[in-house]
Structure 1
Amino acid sequence: MKGKIEPELYNKIYIIGSVASGKTTMAKKLSNLFNITWHELDNVVHMRLPGGDVTRSSEEITFEFNKIISCEKWIIEGVFRECFNEGFDKADSIILLNTPPYKRKCRIAKRWLCQRIRLEESNYVPTFKMLLRMYKWSSGFEKSKDTILKTLEPYIDKVIVLNDNTDIFDNKK
C-alpha cells in the first residue's frame, strides 16, 4: 500500500470511507492541488431538486457514473457501494479513509449542529432523525469493513489506507 499521492502519477482518484471520515474534505483539497474535478457519489445516486432529493433509477445511476469514469481525469468520493465497483478498475489510486469511530462520531455531531444552525450548507434537512441515521451509517461502516477490504484485494497495488483525511498531506514532502 502506498503512503501518498503524486499529481503526475494519479489522474483518477477514488476515495471511499464512512460518513464523516473526511472524504469530501480530502476530495476538495486534492481537486484544488491537482486541478482535477471531483464528484460526490451521493449526487450520482440522488438528483438534487428544490423540493428535495429524488433517488435515480439504477439505469440512471449507472449512466451518470459511467460519464464520470469515462473522463480522462477525476476524483470520486463516497461511501462504498457495490454498484460503483467499476471505478476501482479505472482508478489510478484508491484511498480508503479508515477514520476511527470516535472521531467520526464527533464530526457527525459537529456537522449536524453546524447545519442545524445554518453555519454549514446541507443536501438534506438536518433533523434529529438524520443525525441518528448518520450514526447508524457510521456503525454500519465498521460492520462492512471486512467486505470492503476483501473487495479491494485485487487492487492492493493502488490502495492507500489512511486513518485520517489529513494523513496524505502530512506525508507530502
Structure 2
Amino acid sequence: MTKEFPQRIHIIGSVGSGKTTLARELSKTFQIPYYELDNVAWIRKEPGDILRTDEEKKEHLQSILQTNSWIIEGIHQEEWVVDSFQQADCILFLDTPYKVRIFRIIKRFMKQKMGIEKAHYQPTFSIFFKMFRWNKRFEQKGKPRFFKQQSDLLNKILVIQHKKDLNNFLQQF
C-alpha cells in the first residue's frame, strides 16, 4: 500500500550534502515548490546581497509556511527557522559522508569558476575556504545541536546517508 507523498518537507544538511539537488528533484517530480533558506535570509541584489533581520527572515518564511505545500532546504537552524521544522510533515536530514561533501565542495567551486554552474554568490577563494570550515562546524556542532533541539520531532526525521536510503523513502509513495 502506498502513502500520499508529504506536502511539507524540510531538508537540512551540511554544505555539499545535496540539499538543493534533492529539493529540485522532489519539486519537479511531485510538483511542490521549493525554497532555499539562503534566499529567505538574504535579499539578492546585483551590487551585493543584503542580510535580512531575524524578524524579516521569520516573516518571509511564514509567508511560505502558510501555503499548502513546500519544500524548504538549508543548513539554517536558528530560531527564525523553528516553525518550518514543526510544521513539516517530514524532515529529511542529509547525513552525506564527510569526504563526499569535501569532494562536492571542490567540484562545485570548479564548476562555478568555469561558469558551468551558477551561484547566488561570487565564488571567491574566501567563500571556498569558508565552505570547508562550515562543513566541519556542521559535523562537529550543527548536527548534534539539530538532534538535541529537535528531539521532540524524531518521529518525522529521516536520516539519509546514501542514495539507497532515499530510494527506500521514495518507494513508499
TM-score relative to the length of structure 1: 0.92
Contact preservation (8 Å) 2:37, 2:76? no
In 2, Cα distance between the equivalents of 1:55 and 1:87?
A: 20
Amino acid of the structure 2 residue aligned with 1:73? S
In the TM superposition, what are the counterparts of 1:147-162 in structure 2 within 5 Å?
147-162=145-160
CA contact (8 A) 1:36 1:73 kept: yes
Unmatched segments (≥5 aa) in structure 1 = 1-5
Residue 172 of structure 1 and its aligned partner are, at CA, apart by: 3.8
Q: What is aligned with 1:67?
A: 63
Q: Helix, strand or coil for the counterpart of 2:67?
A: coil
| Other-structure match for 1:56 | 52
Question: In structure 2, what residue type is equivalent to 1:107?
Answer: R
Identity %: 37
Q: Please, which moves more after superposition, 21-30 or 78-87? A: 78-87
Deviation (angstroms), 1:169:
2.8
The offset of 1:8, in angstroms, is 1.6
- TM-score by length of structure 2 reads 0.92
Q: How many residues align?
A: 168
Structure 2 residue runs without a partner (length 5+): none
Displacement after TM superposition at 1:156 (Å): 1.0
Q: Which residues in structure 2 correspond to 1:1-173 (within 5 Å)?
A: 8-82=4-78, 83-144=80-141, 145-164=143-162, 167-169=165-167, 172-173=170-171
Q: What secondary structure, in the 3-state scheme, does the structure 1 residue paired with 2:127 have?
A: helix
Shift of 1:107: 0.1
Q: Does the CA-based 8 Å contact 1:38-1:74 persist in structure 2?
A: yes
Question: How far apart in 1 are the matches of 2:3 and 2:36?
Answer: 20
TM-aligned CA distance change 1:76 to 1:139, over 3 Å: same
Moved over 4 A (4+): none
TM-fit CA distance, 1:165: 5.8
TM-aligned CA deviation for residue 168 of structure 1 = 1.0
Alpha carbons of structure 1 residues 113 and 15: separation in structure 2 relative to 1, 3 Å = same
After superposition, the C-alpha distances for 1:31-85 in whole angstroms (9 at most, x for unaligned) are 0111100000000000111112110111211110100111110000000322201
Native 8 Å contact 2:160 2:166 kept in 1:
yes
Instruction: State the AA in 2 paired with 1:26.
Output: L
